[in-house]
Structure 1
């Protein structure tokens, strides 16, 4: 199973700057994931004008929570790709 450090190294800001792409292993299968910049701004205090370095630091700082939400979504709806948006982090 991949460690959080391995996943963090693989994380990258997408060229179109809509989100951060990362992968995780869930039930022994790789899953391509993306969290939107909007979600990082709304729930992880990312400055709207942040550069790539700050975006990735914010992602790493919130990775435990991001991974937990991703795994919860995958338990409910298994998939090979997953996009996390602000709706995934709002408390309903």
Structure 2
């Protein structure tokens, strides 16, 4: 996927960060849960929106890679990343 411009936003309930990825099939709406940020990117449980966006920015390459993999596995719909998406499976 090509990332022309990555715009992130925290949902009103602060349970997810939403972002969009662009590619040959158009734009795809994506989200990563707060729980995934806490488990995989060391986001403190009481973090505010600014700290959530910082955690996303720090893990952006990995988050986008996991989102792209999930898009390839099930193209066409929105993508929601949870803690399970970051687990290494053998």
Tell me the TM-score normalized by structure 2.
0.91
Would you say 1:91 and 2:53 are equivalent positions? no
Kindly tell me the number of residue pairs found equivalent between the two proteins.
88
Partner Cα separation in structure 2 for residue 16 and residue 63 of structure 1: 21
Greater than 3 Å deviation, 4+ residue runs: none
1:62 aligns with 2:59: yes
1:34-62 residue CA offsets vs partner (Å, 9 max, x unmatched): 00000000000100110100100110110
Give the unaligned 5+ runs of structure 2: none
Tell me, in whole angstroms, the C-alpha distance in 2 between the residues paired with 1:64 and 1:82: 16
The answer to whether the 8 Å contact 2:3/2:23 transfers is no
**Higher normalized helix content (fraction of residues):** 1
Alignment of 1:63-82 (within 5 A): 63-82=60-79
Partner SS for 1:46: coil
Counterpart Cα distance in 2 of 1:62 and 1:49: 19
Alpha-carbon distance between aligned partners in 1 of 2:76 and 2:41, rounded to the nearest angstrom: 25
Q: Structure 1 stretches of 5 or more lacking a match?
A: none
